Structures are given as C-alpha cells and as structure tokens.
Amino acid sequence: MVHVRISSREGLAMEAAVRELAIRLPEVTEKVDSFGHTSFRVNDKPFVMMGEGGADGPVLSFKVLKTTQEILLAQKHFYKTPYIGHHGWVSIHAKNIADYSMLADYLLEGYLCAAPKRLVKQMQAKTQAQ
C-alpha cells in the first residue's frame, strides 16, 4: 500500500462502506495510522486496514482464520497481504468488490479474532439468542 491517507472517490466509498459494517460491532474504534492507513480496531487490535494502493487503486485488507484465508486465496482477486499475510490477513482491491455486504461475515470473523474473550462471548450469546 502507498503511504497516503485515503482520498480518492473510490477509496472514500470503500471506507464508508466498510465503516458502516465495522462500526456496528461492539467497542470498535477507527484510527488512521502514521502511514495513512485507516483501520478498524477492537481493544486496539486491528482487524481491518485500508489504504490507497497506487496504480491499482484502494486496497482493503482484513484478518481471517487461516482456513478462511486459504479459501479466499483460491478465489480470483484476493491475495495474501504483504508483511502480515502469514497472520491470516487477505487483501482485495476496491475495484474488485462488487458488494461490500458480501464481506460482512469476513469482517465479523476478523473482529472475533482480535476481540477480547468477553466480547467474543457477548457476540456468541447475541447470535444464539437470534
């Protein structure tokens, strides 16, 4: 990712769509780091990061379980996030995302990977009650 704050029309649209999904989760905060990447965090642990990706446009990166990562990497357009991919991170360029709501389950999975146990239990209880 290029070290620039998201400013393109496509990047701002991506940021808004992901914010709508991520901010619904308990205790999520949004932060822009020193590289200009926008991240969504729980307990100050990132589970989503976004940035301008240079010539290919904005990039969305998110944490998932290793098994989910393998499934996503087998699909067109997803790739292992540089530097942190070995921790279960995958990336996709915004231009390849047809519907952000299709990513909601992956963002939830990333959230659950990063969240403290008390929040995981809270989310599990909420899911079972539905």
Cα separation, 50 vs 58, whole angstroms: 7
127 near 56, Cβ under 8 Å?
Answer: no
Task: Identify the pLDDT of residue 53.
Answer: 81
**Residue 3 pLDDT level (bands cut at 50, 70, 90):** low
Per the domain annotation, does 1 fall within a domain?
A: no
| Percentage of residues of the chain with pLDDT beyond 70 | 98
Mean pLDDT of the chain: 93
Within-domain flag for 106: yes
CATH number of the domain encompassing residue 32? 3.90.1150.30
Contacts of 3 (CB under 8 A, 6+ apart): 35, 36, 37, 51
Domain that holds residue 116: 9-129
Is residue 44 in some structural domain?
yes
Residue range 11-25: mean pLDDT, rounded: 96
What are the pLDDT digits (tens) for 33-85? 988 899 999 999 999 999 998 889 999 999 999 999 999 999 999 999 999 99
Question: Has residue 4 been placed in a domain?
Answer: no
Q: What is the count of structural domains for the chain?
A: 1
pTM of the model: 0.92
pLDDT at 1 > cutoff 50: no
pLDDT on residue 35: 86
